[in-house]
Amino acid sequence: MSRKTGILISGRGSNMSALIEAAKGPGYPAEIAVVISNNLDAEGLKYAEEAGIATAAIDHRAHDSREAFEHVVDAELREHNVELVCLAGFMRLLTAEFVDGWRDRIINIHPSLLPAYPGVSIHERVVNDGVRISGCTVHFVRAEMDMGPIIAQAAVPVLPDDTADTLAQRVLTSEHRLYPQALRLVADGRVRVVHERVVFADPETESAPLYVPALRGNTR
Ligand code: GAR
């Protein structure tokens, strides 16, 4: 059974595109029902429209409060019978009320190995700190920013000559691999949250959403 999924974006939408492409594959357990952006000019909206997916641009600035904005987003998701929500570069903080309404049915991708480096300017901070391994994380969303039970992580090497941009690109490539796999696990019901940790249905599932760094040469 294919789970109807909504994606929230704010910009480029490359993770959204990766999810849309994955969902076209045979037997993929999620179907992208709607893409919603809080930014009317988000590039990702065009891609979704061209892929024949319903889109909605809901300008957060046109609403008096966070709650009022989220109310419209929530109504749009429900209108499309959405069961799962993926945040894909959605750069608005969500209220506890919204998050609780979608508890354990809303996931996010973040370009670091959480709980390290939450927030913004991640790759600059990683490079400046001289960290050797970075990566990305898919997690269930909680009201605290970039927090919540971890579903999947990919490790990515930080190379000596990296800039924030070169590292961002390498991490992004791993995000595009990881997010579709993580959504597959959630949509298949192969992961669940117990005492705020993700529990996997079987040993095969347990090792699926984990990547280790590749050596220089096959990482770019
Ligand atoms: C991605 O790197 C994503 O992990 C990050 O924003 C970028 C969006 O790119 N998200 C966060 O930092 C959330 N805290 P995209 O629009 O091309 O998917």
| Distance separating alpha carbons of residues 35 and 43, to the nearest angstrom | 12
| Distance separating alpha carbons of residues 182 and 186, to the nearest angstrom | 6
Q: Is 111 in the pocket of ligand 1 (CB under 6 A)?
A: yes
Q: Which amino acid is at 114?
A: L
Query: Which of 109, 145, 166 to probe ligand 1 with, by most ligand atoms within 8 A of CB?
Result: 109
From ligand 1's centre to the CA of 159, what distance in Å? Answer: 21
| Distance separating alpha carbons of residues 213 and 72, to the nearest angstrom | 41
Q: Whose CA is nearest to atom 13 of ligand 1?
A: 110
206 pLDDT band, cuts 50/70/90, is confident
- Neighbouring residues of 16: CB distance < 8 A, sequence distance ≥ 6: 7, 9, 35, 44, 47, 48, 86, 88, 89
- Neighbouring residues of 207: CB distance < 8 A, sequence distance ≥ 6: none
From ligand 1's centre to the CA of 110, what distance in Å? Answer: 6
Q: Which amino acid is at 168?
A: A
Of the listed ranges 11-25, 36-50, 198-212, the one predicted with least confidence:
198-212
Which atom of ligand 1 approaches the CA of 11 most closely? 16
201 pLDDT band, cuts 50/70/90, is confident
Report the length, in residues, of the chain: 220
On the question of pLDDT at 209 being above 70, the answer is: no
The pLDDT value recorded for residue 164 is 98
183 pLDDT band, cuts 50/70/90, is very high
> What is the per-residue pLDDT across 98-119, written as a single tens digit (0 to 9) for each?
999 999 999 999 999 999 999 9
Domain positions in the chain: 1-102, 109-220
The pLDDT value recorded for residue 218 is 45
Q: Among residues 60, 63, 80, 110, which one is catalytic? A: 110
Q: Is 13 in the pocket of ligand 1 (CB under 6 A)?
A: yes
Query: Is 109-220 in the same CATH topology as 1-102?
Result: yes
Q: Are 80 and 54 in contact (CB under 8 A)?
A: yes
Count of C-beta atoms within a 10 Å radius of residue 178: 25
CATH number of 109-220: 3.40.50.170
On the question of pLDDT at 92 being above 60, the answer is: yes
The pLDDT value recorded for residue 212 is 60
- Taking residues 45-52, report their average pLDDT: 98
The pLDDT value recorded for residue 210 is 66
Helix H segments across the chain? 14-23, 43-50, 66-79, 96-101, 122-129, 164-187, 203-207
Mean pLDDT of all residues belonging to the chain: 94
Local structure of 111: helix, strand or coil: coil
32 pLDDT band, cuts 50/70/90, is very high
Q: Is 39 in the pocket of ligand 1 (CB under 6 A)?
A: no
219 pLDDT band, cuts 50/70/90, is very low
Q: Are 96 and 103 in contact (CB under 8 A)?
A: no
The pLDDT value recorded for residue 205 is 74
> What is the per-residue pLDDT across 133-174, written as a single tens digit (0 to 9) for each?
999 999 999 999 999 999 999 999 999 999 999 999 999 999
In words, the CATH class of domain 1-102 is: alpha beta
Q: What percent of the chain has pLDDT over 90?
A: 90
Catalytic residue check, 110: yes
On the question of pLDDT at 208 being above 50, the answer is: yes
